[in-house]
Amino acid sequence: MSNVSLTPGTDPDSLLRAVTTSRSRRVRNGLATSWMYGSFVLAVIPLGFLIFYVVQKGLPQVLQAGWFTEDIPAVSRKAGGGMAPAIVGTLLITFGATVMAVPLGIFGAIYLHEYGATGRLARVIRFMSDVMTGVPSIVMGLFVYSIYTLVFGLNGFGGSLALACLMLPIIIRSSEEMLRLVPDELREGSYALGNRKWRTIVTVVLPAATGGMVSGVMLAIARAAGETAPLLFTIGAARKINMNLFDGPNSALSMQIFTNAQTPFEAAQDRAWGAAFTLIAIVFIFTVLARIVSARVSLKHS
């Protein structure tokens, strides 16, 4: 510990000594910096490995002709075939979930922030929403299985329902955050002009919060697209493209990874890797889109 007095002398030497970093301080600083860098590298390594593996194993599959168009082979042993049904299924089921979860979530968030505030009902809703975030996805699938699939059979809509239940609390949470970020001054300014509350929300608050909310929704979509467990009990397994969400079993990329990876056949395992790559690519695209949208909107605001 360098003995620096609180009021060093003002002669150049002692002043210089007081304001330059001592050797021990420099060493400690260097150690801490290396520690940070090291931890970061350590954290990134698994991600790096993952990406490397998936690309290495999956890309060749995806690049095969027919990956995006052909049906899933009936016999897992056989090589070839495509993932078209699974891709279509993932997109359809996720779309269905979005259509249900987004309006509910956004309006729910509007109620929570603009009308309910700290009232009892609002607090209950918020609490339940937080609880729902913690419900394991497989439990959600089981729940939808028991109330829907047992009644209406295996179809894509069941999967959408389950995914929607997963997405809803995320959308409510993130939308409420975005609404909270809209400064109250904007609302006050609107009221001061003689605007009613609901019109203020529609004409001022929502446009201002849109960027962030869209970004939050897209992240929820990206997450839902990758869920496997809820789909296990609800959509069944289809090998052909099924464009009808309500009729008959459907397929999804996550399901295909699950089933194909468990087989001992190499061809199937390769398809699993291909599906993994496709799924990651879809999620990645959505995430990038979310970033672009929120960046563009915040650019407009600045």
Partner 1 sequence: MAPDQTASPAPSPVTPRRPMASPSSVAPAATPTTPDAAPVVFDATDLSVYYGDFRAVRDASLQIHQHEITAFIGPSGCGKSTMLRCFDRMNDLIDGCRVEGTLRYHGVDLYDARIDPVEVRKRIGMVFQKPNPFPKSIYDNVAFGPRLAGRKDDMDDIVESALRRAALWDEVKDRLQKSAMGLSGGQQQRLCIARAVAVEPEVVLMDEPCSALDPIATSRIEDLMQELKRDYTIVIVTHNMQQAARVSDRTAFFTAEVSETSDTRTGVLVEYDLTDKIFSNPADERTENYVTGRFG
Per CB under 8 A, 183 contacts partner 1? yes
Residue pair 76/239 in contact by the 8 Å Cβ criterion: no
Per CB under 8 A, 293 contacts partner 1? no
Per CB under 8 A, 120 contacts partner 1? no
Q: Alpha-carbon distance 63 to 48, whole Å?
A: 22
Per CB under 8 A, 191 contacts partner 1? yes
Which has the closest alpha carbon to 222: 52, 43, 97? Answer: 97
The DSSP string of 97-114 is: HHHHHHHHHHHHHHIIII
Per CB under 8 A, 186 contacts partner 1? yes
Sign of CA dihedral 103, 119, 117, 126: negative
Per CB under 8 A, 193 contacts partner 1? yes
Q: Is 299 exposed, middle or buried (0-12, 13-18, 19+ CB in 10 A)?
A: exposed
Residue pair 175/105 in contact by the 8 Å Cβ criterion: yes
Q: Alpha-carbon distance 111 to 123, whole Å?
A: 11
Residue pair 136/229 in contact by the 8 Å Cβ criterion: yes
Per CB under 8 A, 199 contacts partner 1? yes
Q: Which stretch binds partner 1 (CB under 8 A): 31-39, 46-54, 192-200, 265-273?
A: 192-200
Q: Please, what is the minimum distance in Å from the beta carbon of residue 278 to partner 1?
A: 38
Q: Please, what is the minimum distance in Å from the beta carbon of residue 189 to partner 1?
A: 4
- Closer residue to partner 1 (CB): 35 or 198: 198
Single residue of 207, 243, 247, 291 touching partner 1 by CB under 8 A: 207
Single residue of 160, 175, 190, 215 touching partner 1 by CB under 8 A: 190
Per CB under 8 A, 208 contacts partner 1? yes
Q: Which residues bind partner 1 (CB under 8 A)?
A: 183, 185-186, 188-196, 199, 203-204, 207-208, 300-302
